A and B are shown apart, each in its own frame.
Chain A
Amino acid sequence: MRPHLDTPAGTDAGGSTGLFRLHPDGTASRGSRTYGLVVLAGVILFLLVALVFSPADTGSENQMGDMVRIMYVHVPVAVACYVAFLVTAITSIAYLWKRTEGWDVLAVASAEIGVVFTFLTLATGSIWGHIAWGTWWEWDARLTSTLVLFIMYLGYLALRGAILDPVVRAKRAAILGVVAFVNVPIVHYSVTWWRGLHQDATVSKVDPSIDGLKLFALMFGMVLAVALYGWLMIHRFRLHYAAARLEASGLDRALAERRAEARPDAVTADAASTDAVPTDAVTTEGTLS
């Protein structure tokens, strides 16, 4: 995996000024900075369209009023969270196939962003429900399956946090990433059938009569959410990639130290400190049990 595709190596970051000036230590590149500024401009434009320019919903039969504006964020973040988990699943398969670190880093970055977007889907859906149905939580099919999804990927991140060895972690997490995503449609259909026995209300059902600026706000929101996801992916990928390289960078030093144990003067001088070296039994059990 190459962590970057957008900028040539060795770009002089100090040459630019203003918003384009890159922090010397950051995860930003010139390309990602430009991308980020475009997204930022898009966000401002989106907020203006969604909150100011677009009219309240009065024409349609549902009469959602200003509440329709919630849809402009709710639907896009929902789309982004499904995109994120799809990417986690695909990169997990790619990891199991290629066994290279980069795919694992992509999978975790995507899952983390996905969990945030899922949380926002639930939050905005709940706010919507409070107005539309009068309750903070309705057992609506899509909201419910999104909730299950949310907890499932919290589990994915918890599994990653519980395993120290990077290879074991990557392998188990990759399998869980696939297993969890396979579960998404099953959860969705089971919950839909389950609710289908009672009612058919859903937040995300786009009103066919929606048009004009309202439709534009919705579509623009979706594009923007996916673009924002992409920007976050670039930076979180670089962050995790840097962290992984940092973990691995000690290897040369560790090898030198390890070989130095074999030097007789080191052994006799540090006879007491050999106890500090993990014994065979401890090291094997610590990593393999």
Chain B
Amino acid sequence: MAEHPGPRPGSLGALLADARLVAAKDLRLEWRSRVILSQVLPFAVLVLILFAFALDPDRRILGQATPGLYWLAVLFSTLLALQRSFTVEAENGVTDSLRMSGLDPGGVFLGKTAGIALHLVALQLVLLAGVTVFYGTTPHGPLLLLAAGATATLGLAAIGSILGVMAAGLKVRDSLLPLLMLPMVAPVLIGASQAFTAAYDRDPGAGWRWIAMLGVFGCLYTAIGIVAFEPLLEET
């Protein structure tokens, strides 16, 4: 057998190497198929437009509600991105290939989480431009916005990966995933919206404790996911 290049199996280096491999694969998959770009991104922008239709063209209401609407749009898009990300892992016996692959399950989790997070970051850049243009709000407090975006994205991607693989392969996954996901991420929606509100209100001091909460949420579920992915991937 060929000697193994790269880090020793089971080490942290191997975990991160596997994570990088899986994340790079997901980005390449998106580059080849462009499903997020051509379907989820337009959907996210459409949600912003629909909020305007539903609420009022009056920019005052939209401006006040911008943080909440922005994160709702992110949340809905996350669900679609998750469905996409875990459908490709459940089709054509890929799940078996993953089990046979020699990849560390924790590394697979980190890779999937990183891939989803990177997709979400790209989505959010467009959505941020969207609320600025459509709702007439000007972003303030870039540091707070950046911190809220980063921590909330980590939390959404981490718990999304856990629940995504949990629902993957089930006949009812399309309806089950939102039911599992949306109540779980209620703290993320609250925290990120409040932090954005603080930033937009030019009152950044009130926002930072939400960042702490979001950070705890993200790190906690990342840690749980690394441990829980082995039994989840293993199934029987």
A, B co-complexed: yes
Using A190-B190, A194-B190, A194-B194 as known contacts, say yes or no to A152 and B183 having CB atoms under 8 A apart.
yes
Contacting residues of chain B (157-182) with chain A, CB-CB under 8 angstroms: 159, 162-163, 166-167, 169-172, 176, 179-180, 182
- Apart from the given pairs A186-B220, A190-B213, 5 other A-B contacts in the complex at a CB distance below 8 Å: A155-B179, A155-B183, A158-B180, A176-B163, A178-B224
Interface of B is mostly: helix
In the complex, which residues of chain B have a beta carbon less than 8 angstroms from the beta carbon of A163? 170
Q: Most chain-B Cβ atoms within 10 A of its Cβ — which of A148, A186, A194? A: A186
**Residue A183 at the chain B interface, CB threshold 8 Å:** yes
Find out whether the CB atom of A288 lies under 8 angstroms from the CB atom of B96.
yes
**A281 → B minimal CB distance (Å):** 11
Find out whether the CB atom of A172 lies under 8 angstroms from the CB atom of B232.
yes
**Residue B200 at the chain A interface, CB threshold 8 Å:** no
**Residue A171 at the chain B interface, CB threshold 8 Å:** yes
Give CA–CA (A134, B118) in the complex, Å: 46
**A193 → B minimal CB distance (Å):** 7
Report the tally of A-B residue pairs with Cβ distances under 8 A. 94
In the complex, which residues of chain B have a beta carbon less than 8 angstroms from the beta carbon of A190? 186-187, 190-191, 213
In the complex, which residues of chain B have a beta carbon less than 8 angstroms from the beta carbon of A288? 95-96, 235-236
**B69 → A minimal CB distance (Å):** 17
In the complex, which residues of chain A have a beta carbon less than 8 angstroms from the beta carbon of B235? 165, 167-168, 171, 288
Find out whether the CB atom of B220 lies under 8 angstroms from the CB atom of A182.
yes
Q: Most chain-A Cβ atoms within 10 A of its Cβ — which of B184, B216, B234? A: B184
Could you tell me which B residues sit within 8 Å of A by CB distance? 90, 95-96, 159, 162-163, 166-167, 169-172, 176, 179-180, 182-184, 186-187, 190-191, 194, 209-210, 213, 216-217, 220-221, 224, 228, 231-232, 234-236
Find out whether the CB atom of A96 lies under 8 angstroms from the CB atom of B179.
no
Using A162-B170, A172-B166, A194-B194 as known contacts, say yes or no to A179 and B228 having CB atoms under 8 A apart.
yes
**Residue A159 at the chain B interface, CB threshold 8 Å:** yes
Find out whether the CB atom of B159 lies under 8 angstroms from the CB atom of A179.
yes
12 cross-chain CB contacts under 8 A? A148-B183, A151-B179, A151-B182, A155-B176, A155-B179, A158-B176, A162-B176, A168-B235, A178-B224, A179-B184, A179-B228, A288-B235
In the complex, which residues of chain A have a beta carbon less than 8 angstroms from the beta carbon of B182? 151
**A100 → B minimal CB distance (Å):** 15
In the complex, which residues of chain A have a beta carbon less than 8 angstroms from the beta carbon of B170? 162-163
**A256 → B minimal CB distance (Å):** 23
In the complex, which residues of chain B have a beta carbon less than 8 angstroms from the beta carbon of A183? 184, 187
Interface of A is mostly: helix
Find out whether the CB atom of B190 lies under 8 angstroms from the CB atom of A171.
no
Using A186-B216, A187-B186 as known contacts, say yes or no to A175 and B232 having CB atoms under 8 A apart.
yes
Find out whether the CB atom of A159 lies under 8 angstroms from the CB atom of B232.
no
**B197 → A minimal CB distance (Å):** 10
Beta-carbon nearest neighbor of B194 in chain A? A194
Contact digits for A223-256, partner B, Cβ 8 Å, 1 yes 0 no: 0000000000000000000000000000000000
In the complex, which residues of chain A have a beta carbon less than 8 angstroms from the beta carbon of B213? 186, 189-190, 193
**The one of B95, B162, B179, B190 that contacts A179, using a Cβ cutoff of 8 Å:** B162
Give CA–CA (A191, B193) in the complex, Å: 12
Give CA–CA (A287, B180) in the complex, Å: 22
